[in-house]
A and B are shown apart, each in its own frame.
Chain A
Amino acid sequence: MFKKTLHIGTSPHIIGGSSTDQIMRNVVFALLPVAAFAVYTFGLSALLLLITALASCLLTEYFLNRWIDKSSPLSDWSVTITGLLYGLTLPPHLPLWMVFVGGVIAVALGKFIFGGLGYNVFNPALVGRAFIQAAFPVAITTWMAPFLPDRFSHIPGSTLTLPFLKPVYDITSGATPLSLMKFEHHTTDTYNLLMGMTSGSTGETSALLILLGGLYLIARKMMNWRIPVALLGTVYLISTVLHWSNPDIYPGGLFMLFSGGLMLGAVFMATDMVASPITPLGATVYGIIIGIMIYVIRVWGGLPEGVMYAILFGNAVSPHIDNFIRPRVYGTGKQWSKS
């Protein structure tokens, strides 16, 4: 009387929680306000840049995976995050052809080569950016002033530079708060930093929106809160202590937190679980290591900003963190050593 051939499978026969594509989709949602604010701040050039970054990442992912016959490569949404974040880390009027090159590198070199989603050992978006920074160091350290009056009517000449040519700048450039601090010993007002009234990378300007996005993800349990908390806490702690010891040399804690790419990096990039440690304690240690590195590079290093390098370095040590920091397995340890 029972008609069907039964299906058999292994237990558990029910599953819960959210699925990977759901998580990824939500990260995209959390990033959208940041992206929208970036477009509002920098105008058309930022819009074109984000579109190009997304397109390059999505296309690369699609074609490479097609090539090795992996099915539906874009359905997990992860590459959308990569594309968005990659775009958000670039200066707003970077030539689009450079953006495209970096996007291809990000996905091909940062992700595909390692086996795609879940296997990359470095943060793909940052691999793309690090490549661009090393390849075109001048272009990527030239910044544009925010809220230019003609930002919605005028596309900067540099954005539309022809492939393989040097960009020509035709608009007001601005110095980032960090380079002002490093080279001129001039700190920017925290309120301006928080609200995004400064020049900088496309997406790093509004710390507030980034924090809100992060809170949303943490509330939905889609992000490991320990990493941003440990990271931001470390930077804040070191800078506050040192600032207190010598305010002339060392910038204050709040300035450090809200300037540069720290917020975007801490909230959206250091938290990329694929390339970070898996255990709670490991994640904390990872956050602390990155925090220290950021501080060292910013304050004692040659470069004004070190978030990208610090996170990549964190990625490189995370296998070791995973190796060394393991939770004590139930029933093991000293008190239970079997006699």
Chain B
Amino acid sequence: MKTESLWFIFLNASLINNFVLAYFLGICPFLGVSGKLSTAFRMGMAVIFVMLISSMAAYGIHAFLIWVDAPFLQLISYIVVIASTVQLVEMFIKRFSPSLFKALGIFLPLITTNCAILGLALFQTNKGYNFIESFVFALGAGIGFTLALVLMAGLREKLDFAEIPLIAKGVALTLLVGGILSLTFMGFAGLGG
């Protein structure tokens, strides 16, 4: 009995239940890498990429674990496989695009161990998505993540040139903007339902 169309899975992951603004996944990069638009965008792309990879990896492992009947290894295998895959990607980037590596700084290792990535793997398993659905889910989540990050970056770049009161400078301001963005995304509720 199928209730969720692919289109809906996509909308849900990207807008209605945006990973960052509704599920609170990947807040650290959301706060950390959203200062500059260009970095945010590249980070977003990296996240989409990693999400797709880990979604597929997680799908495979899940099948494997079902096969060997060891569901209790789910978490540890997900994280290990995802982490190593991403570490490979990281080494790759470091080798072939030092500038990208520099821009993302300490956050590349953090993508490895980012809530959004693992959360994606766990959610898709919980929701029992098949391969295609998982793929669409990962794509939606990644795009939603990028959207949140990029919107935030635009606003923060604008706020770099604002007379922010001393008390609100820093993370507090970013959180407040995040809160308002999250309020804004509530408008998408029920879409496609």
Contacts and interface: CB of A to CB of B under 8 A. Distances in A.
Interface of A: 68, 109-110, 112-116, 119, 121-122, 127, 130-131, 134, 293, 296-297, 300-303, 306, 308-310, 312-313, 316-317, 319-320, 323
Contacts of A121: 155, 158-159, 177
B162 A114 contact: yes
Nearest to B148: A316
A122 B179 CA distance: 12
Contacts of B177: 121
B163 A309 contact: no
B187 A312 contact: yes
A320 B157 CA distance: 10
Given A319-B154, A319-B157, A320-B154, A127 B180 contact: yes
A98 to B, nearest CB: 16
A297 B154 CA distance: 23
B104 interface: no
25 contacts: A109-B176, A109-B180, A110-B180, A113-B176, A114-B159, A119-B162, A119-B163, A121-B159, A127-B180, A127-B183, A130-B184, A131-B183, A297-B187, A297-B191, A301-B187, A302-B193, A303-B187, A303-B189, A312-B183, A312-B187, A313-B184, A316-B154, A319-B157, A320-B150, A320-B151
Nearest to A68: B165
Main secondary structure of the interface of B (DSSP, over half): helix
A319 B187 contact: no
A85 B59 CA distance: 51
Contacts of A296: 191
Given A116-B163, A316-B151, A319-B157, A297 B188 contact: yes
Interface string B143-159: 00000001100110111
A91 B55 CA distance: 45
Interface residues of B, number: 29
Given A115-B162, A296-B191, A302-B193, A309 B157 contact: no
Contacts of A114: 159, 162, 164, 173
B128 interface: no
Interface string B122-163: 000000000000000000000000000011001101110011
B173 A113 contact: yes
A320 B155 CA distance: 9
Interface of B: 37, 150-151, 154-155, 157-159, 162-166, 168, 173, 176-177, 180-181, 183-184, 186-193
A310 B183 contact: no
A134 B183 contact: yes
A113 B165 contact: yes
A5 to B, nearest CB: 33
A59 B151 CA distance: 31
A115 B37 CA distance: 21
A292 to B, nearest CB: 13
B56 to A, nearest CB: 31
Given A113-B164, A113-B165, A297-B191, 15 more contacts: A112-B165, A113-B173, A114-B159, A114-B173, A121-B177, A130-B184, A297-B187, A300-B192, A301-B191, A309-B186, A309-B188, A313-B184, A313-B187, A316-B154, A319-B158
A44 to B, nearest CB: 31
Contact of A302 (B162, B176, B183, B189): B189
Contacts of B180: 109-110, 122, 127, 130, 312
Contacts of B155: 121, 316, 319
Contact of B190 (A109, A110, A301): A301
Given A113-B168, A119-B162, A130 B183 contact: yes
A310 B188 CA distance: 9
Contacts of B173: 113-114
Contacts of B176: 109, 113
A127 B151 CA distance: 17
A303 B190 contact: yes
A316 B18 CA distance: 15
